[in-house]
Chains A and B, each alone.
Chain A
Amino acid sequence: MKRKFFALLAALFLVLLAVPAAADASGSYVFDEAQLLDEQQEQQLNDLAAKYTKKYDCGLYIATVDNYRDSGSDVQDAAEKIYQEKNMGVGAQHDGILLLLSMSEPDYALICHGNLANRIFDQTAREDIADSFLSYFGRNDWNNGFQAYLENSGKALSGDHFKQGMLGIVVVLVCPAAVALIVVMTLKSKMKSVKIGAQARMYLLQGSEKWRVRDDIYTHTTESRRRIEQPRSQSGGHGSSSGSGGFSGTSGKF
């Protein structure tokens, strides 16, 4: 009886562990309405997206449609609506990035949602990611293009993850340790009151200074120039905007 009870308890425990895993495993990250990919390619891309999503708590999504106008007023608007309709994103802020291809024109939109995604995938990062896949799409190499998109997005997330990790160590350990060290070293300095005299300023006779020379002579002027860094110019048909509702995005033609 006792053995059966513990076996049941163990089974329940395993089921509870499995449930979140099962929930994760069923997540879809690739929505290929335009049927650019075969089943195997779709599954591979889905698995890659799932891996990065779980690792960095930020959703990576791919969507393809025949015509964005079925979903929104422009390709970016369509991407935002698809993001919301399919309840994409991770966490309370629905952090994630979506690459939408609309095949009619053809157009693409790369949008982000949530503080984390917007911080990591800023305009520069989005343009860099776009540059990585556009060459593939230009040759109708959809699978490699999507792979390039996922891998470069994952790289951006891992770089940030590392920076965040280091920043966390600095904030949680290094800064408090520095403050504590200042406190104890200040207390320690009060224990020492003996030191050799290095100054005689208190013995300087006030008003005793007699000046022979007191010159401040201008000699020459020098000038140096520094070019002011301009924000990166938009090239390759990229258009960027910060939309309402926490979205920001980049769009263009391919």
Chain B
Amino acid sequence: MPTQVTNYQCPACTAPLKFVASSGKLECEYCGSSYDVAEIEALYAEKEEKAVEAFQNEQQANPAQEAAQADLRVYTCPSCSAQLVCDQTTAATSCPYCGNPSVVPGQLTGVFEPNYVIPFQLDKQEAENALRRHYKNKILLPKEFRSDSHIQEIRGVYVPFWLMDMHADVDQTFHATRSSVHRRGDYEIITTRHYNVRRAGTLEFERVPADASSKMPDDYMDSLEPFNYSEMKPFSTAYLPGFLADKYDISAEDCTGRIETRCRNSAREFIRGTVTGYDSCTLTDEKINLERTKMRQALLPVWLLSTRWKGNNYLFAMNGQTGKMVGDLPISWKRFWAIFFATMAPLSALALVFCMLYGGR
């Protein structure tokens, strides 16, 4: 009976295949064979079709169960037959029993099928190294955090994003002035020339991202930008083995507001930058209309690392393509005040000596 889950197995030895960031290929850990994505795609095309069919049949057959367990889905691992319990958006995971990477192709079909994917280019070890570099030169970081915090979990996740092209129609009016000063007898004369400045036109924004997963914190995903879109590939499930992946659960309409705010701010800033040569410039009227012209869905690579220290969880995220690491670090308030007073004390002493030598006389 076809299962809803696909395990990508090595054609040579049937061991699990995983997508390796450094080579851009699917590699077998046991026999060392490596395969191009296109090769595996062709090999598993039929299996995937059957998995999608099985997924859709299951959905139609058990709508009641579907409604009852809205947050969870249960799959069967094709390798060891264990039950995989995942939430409803999971599209790729690994079997907790046999460790085989498992892909649910049915989750990424139809409207949920991404247009593009940026494959992982940095592996787990690089993510751990990047975290250690993130701690470096942070003088206010508690010393114990560096030594005591342990990586609780490290996950490579393909995060679904909406990439939107926006057309902005901007019409802004400003009141600008130029001033000059000259002297006439006992008076200082300030002459001000006033201008009515108008800028109206259109701007294009391309592939503005917004993460489409409610599980991912928006501020973390925004902070990981930019991704290099030149390395974006047409979507294939063959990139997913070895990583987690989710389908989107925030619709494009719900993401549009955030993207529009960003585009509006940038359009305003760009137009304002074209009004130059004035001593003062005040916006008096503004109309900015935004229209979404194109929309794509892409899976973008993110490493998520969580650590625990003194009962608190700390989340760090790394751009799986560029290596940019973000995550707020705890502050040692003892060090904060020690540095404050260590900076202030010598300056105060110097100022006191200066005042005693030169003050008042």
> Are B192's CB and A214's CB within 8 A?
no
B37 to chain A minimum Cβ distance, whole angstroms, is 28
> Are B140's CB and A180's CB within 8 A?
no
> Are B355's CB and A168's CB within 8 A?
yes
Residues of A near B345 (CB, < 8 A) are 176
> Are A202's CB and B140's CB within 8 A?
no
Known: A197-B222, A210-B201; 9 extra A-B contacts, CB below 8 A, are A93-B361, A194-B217, A194-B326, A200-B208, A200-B265, A202-B226, A211-B200, A212-B200, A220-B193
Give B293-332 as 1s and 0s: 1 = Cβ < 8 Å from A's Cβ atoms.
0000000000000000000000000000000011111110
A208 to chain B minimum Cβ distance, whole angstroms, is 4
Residues of B near A194 (CB, < 8 A) are 217, 219-220, 223, 326-328
> Are B187's CB and A222's CB within 8 A?
no
Contact among A190, A213, A219 for B200, CB-based, below 8 A:
A213
- B291 interface contact, C-beta 8 A: no
> Are B218's CB and A226's CB within 8 A?
no
Question: In the complex where A93-B361, A214-B199 touch, is A191 in contact with B339 (Cβ < 8 A)?
Answer: no
A-B CB contact pairs (8 Å), 17 listed = A114-B361, A115-B360, A168-B359, A172-B348, A173-B348, A179-B344, A181-B340, A191-B141, A195-B223, A196-B219, A197-B223, A209-B202, A212-B200, A215-B198, A217-B198, A220-B193, A224-B189
- Among A172, A175, A208, A228, the one with the most B-chain Cβ atoms within 10 Å of its Cβ is A172
Give B249-282 as 1s and 0s: 1 = Cβ < 8 Å from A's Cβ atoms.
0000000001101110110011000110000000
> Are A222's CB and B192's CB within 8 A?
yes
Residues of B near A222 (CB, < 8 A) are 191-192, 194
Residues of B near A22 (CB, < 8 A) are none
Question: In the complex where A116-B361, A219-B196 touch, is A224 in contact with B190 (Cβ < 8 A)?
Answer: yes
- A205 interface contact, C-beta 8 A: yes
> Are B347's CB and A180's CB within 8 A?
yes
CB nearest neighbor in A for B325:
A193
Q: With the chains together, A212 CA to B326 CA distance in Å? A: 41
> Are B344's CB and A176's CB within 8 A?
yes
- B207 interface contact, C-beta 8 A: yes
- B203 interface contact, C-beta 8 A: yes
Residues of A near B205 (CB, < 8 A) are 200, 203-205
> Are B193's CB and A176's CB within 8 A?
no
Residues of A near B206 (CB, < 8 A) are 203, 205
Residues of A near B341 (CB, < 8 A) are 180
> Are B266's CB and A200's CB within 8 A?
yes
A-B contacts counted at CB < 8 A amount to 198
> Are A216's CB and B266's CB within 8 A?
no
> Are B138's CB and A213's CB within 8 A?
no
> Are B194's CB and A191's CB within 8 A?
no
Contact among B195, B219, B220, B326 for A217, CB-based, below 8 A:
B195
> Are A196's CB and B222's CB within 8 A?
yes
A192 to chain B minimum Cβ distance, whole angstroms, is 5
Contact among B204, B218, B225, B351 for A172, CB-based, below 8 A:
B351
Determine the interface band of chain A, counting residues with CB < 8 A from chain B: 35 or more
A226 to chain B minimum Cβ distance, whole angstroms, is 5
Contact among B166, B325, B339 for A184, CB-based, below 8 A:
B339
Residues of A near B20 (CB, < 8 A) are none
CB nearest neighbor in B for A222:
B192
Residues of A near B187 (CB, < 8 A) are 225-228
Q: With the chains together, A221 CA to B189 CA distance in Å? A: 13
Question: In the complex where A183-B343, A188-B336 touch, is A219 in contact with B195 (Cβ < 8 A)?
Answer: yes
> Are B266's CB and A199's CB within 8 A?
yes
Chain A residues close to B by CB (< 8 Å): 57, 91, 93, 95, 114-116, 164, 168, 171-173, 175-177, 179-181, 183-184, 187-188, 190-205, 208-228, 230
- B71 interface contact, C-beta 8 A: no
B357 to chain A minimum Cβ distance, whole angstroms, is 12
Contact among B137, B166, B262, B354 for A197, CB-based, below 8 A:
B262
Chain B binding surface SS class? mixed
Residues of A near B347 (CB, < 8 A) are 175-176, 179-180
> Are A193's CB and B340's CB within 8 A?
no
Contact among A179, A204, A213, A220 for B201, CB-based, below 8 A:
A213
Q: With the chains together, A213 CA to B361 CA distance in Å? A: 63
Q: With the chains together, A171 CA to B350 CA distance in Å? A: 10
Q: With the chains together, A168 CA to B359 CA distance in Å? A: 8
> Are B201's CB and A212's CB within 8 A?
yes
Contact among B339, B348, B355 for A187, CB-based, below 8 A:
B339
Residues of A near B328 (CB, < 8 A) are 191-194
CB nearest neighbor in B for A200:
B262
Q: With the chains together, A196 CA to B198 CA distance in Å? A: 31
Residues of B near A191 (CB, < 8 A) are 138, 140-141, 328-331
> Are A201's CB and B269's CB within 8 A?
yes
Residues of B near A227 (CB, < 8 A) are 186-188
> Are B200's CB and A217's CB within 8 A?
no
Q: With the chains together, A220 CA to B192 CA distance in Å? A: 9
B278 to chain A minimum Cβ distance, whole angstroms, is 9
> Are A187's CB and B139's CB within 8 A?
yes
> Are B197's CB and A216's CB within 8 A?
yes
Q: With the chains together, A172 CA to B348 CA distance in Å? A: 5
Q: With the chains together, A227 CA to B185 CA distance in Å? A: 9
